[in-house]
């Protein structure tokens, strides 16, 4: 019997171990993810700890992968090896995924293709937003808003992947870091995004107008950490502070969206990254025309994008 050809994707970001499988037609048939353990009260992981955690997680996910692809043939492997498509972009945690991908390549006699974590996010967002066929060969704007990155990118088709130009970015902390630091300060467990979204949704009062800082594509969010600390000290109200933080980030992303549209025309905009799974943020940004969002499953870190990029490059 002929085995079904599949493409495996692997991503070992700083907070999630991910393995995904795409079939030959570009459908994601397996999307495994396991968060790295972060001790209560901590706001993240050192790279050495992240590498060790990935090593433990990847063996468990590999067993699930082997069961899922029994009777299939791995014909290509995609893996994230850098955070971004930029010279000097590097994080040790991606070495775990690269090592597993290289081993799979040798044992299954299948080529391995290297991509950035960022490109994987863009491809996964295209897939889950239903716009892969529409936008894959066009210029568009992609926002990558996560715990490690908050930036806007001008994306152009390039071979089997993307040519990415950075057009806006934070110069201090990311949106995800701002959320998590505020959440941990209030006693929430890291990562704090989902719990803060719930708390904010239950807030019914009014909020002060945030003083955001966006100038010439440069975004400052570190002030939000100090403001949220001050508000919580004054009120001890986690619902109020959560709503303020998300509103601050919303207004910041709205301003960036307005700026990139003014500077680059009415290109389609795709929002991706873990922070963009937030329904409040999606609701505010969807007021702009021609905007698309990854579903929550594909907004957070995942390996689906690199599996799909491997399929595209292989074909």
List pLDDT tens digits, range 276-309: 989 999 999 999 999 999 888 898 889 999 999 9
Pick the CATH number of 4-133+298-314 from 1.20.1250.20, 3.30.420.40, 2.40.50.140, 3.20.20.80: 3.30.420.40
Closest CA to 253 of 197, 172, 170: 170
Q: What is the pTM of this model?
A: 0.83
Neighbours of 63 (CB within 10 A): 10
Cα dihedral sign for 271, 276, 277, 282? Answer: negative
> Residue 274: pLDDT band by 50, 70, 90 thresholds?
confident
Q: What is the mean pLDDT of residues 185-191?
A: 93
Helix orientation angle between 193-201 and 238-264, rounded to the nearest 10 degrees? 100
Percentage of residues of the chain with pLDDT beyond 90: 74
Residue 263: pLDDT over 90: yes
Q: Where in the chain is the domain with CATH 3.30.420.40?
A: 4-133+298-314, 169-295
Q: Does CATH number 3.50.50.60 belong to domain 169-295?
A: no
Read off the pLDDT of residues 201-227 as tens digits, 9 standing for 90 and up: 999 999 999 999 999 999 999 999 999
Mean pLDDT for the chain? 92
Encode pLDDT of 52-87 as tens digits. 889 999 988 998 999 999 989 999 999 999 987 778
């Amino acid at each position: 019997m002929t085995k079904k050809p599949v493409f495996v994707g692997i991503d070992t970001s700083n907070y999630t171990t991910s393995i995904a499988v795409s079939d030959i037609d570009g459908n994601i048939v397996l999307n495994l993810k396991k968060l790295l353990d972060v001790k209560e009260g901590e706001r993240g992981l050192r790279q050495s700890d992240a590498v060790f955690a990935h090593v433990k997680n990847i063996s468990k996910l590999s067993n699930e992968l082997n069961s899922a692809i029994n009777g299939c043939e791995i014909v290509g492997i995609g893996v994230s090896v850098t955070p971004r498509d930029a010279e000097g972009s590097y994080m040790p945690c991606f070495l775990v995924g690269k090592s597993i991908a290289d081993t799979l390549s040798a044992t299954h006699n299948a080529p391995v293709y290297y991509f950035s974590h960022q490109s994987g996010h863009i491809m996964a967002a295209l897939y889950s937003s239903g716009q892969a066929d529409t936008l894959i060969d066009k210029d568009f704007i992609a926002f990558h808003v996560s715990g490690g990155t908050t930036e806007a990118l001008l994306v152009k088709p390039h071979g089997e992947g993307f040519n990415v130009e950075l057009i806006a970015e934070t110069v201090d902390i990311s949106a995800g870091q701002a959320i998590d630091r505020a959440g941990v300060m209030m006693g929430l467990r890291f990562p704090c995004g989902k719990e803060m979204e719930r708390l904010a949704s239950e807030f019914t009062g009014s909020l002060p107008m945030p003083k955001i800082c966006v100038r010439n594509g440069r975004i400052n969010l570190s002030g939000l950490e100090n403001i949220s600390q001050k508000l919580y000290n004054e009120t001890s109200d986690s619902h109020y502070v959560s709503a303020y933080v998300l509103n601050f980030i919303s207004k910041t992303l709205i301003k960036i969206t307005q700026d990139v549209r003014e500077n680059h025309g009415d290109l389609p905009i795709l929002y991706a990254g873990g922070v963009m799974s937030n329904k409040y943020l999606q609701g505010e940004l969807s007021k702009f025309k021609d905007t698309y969002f990854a579903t929550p499953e594909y907004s957070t870190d995942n390996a689906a994008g690199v599996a799909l990029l491997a399929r595209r490059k292989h074909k």
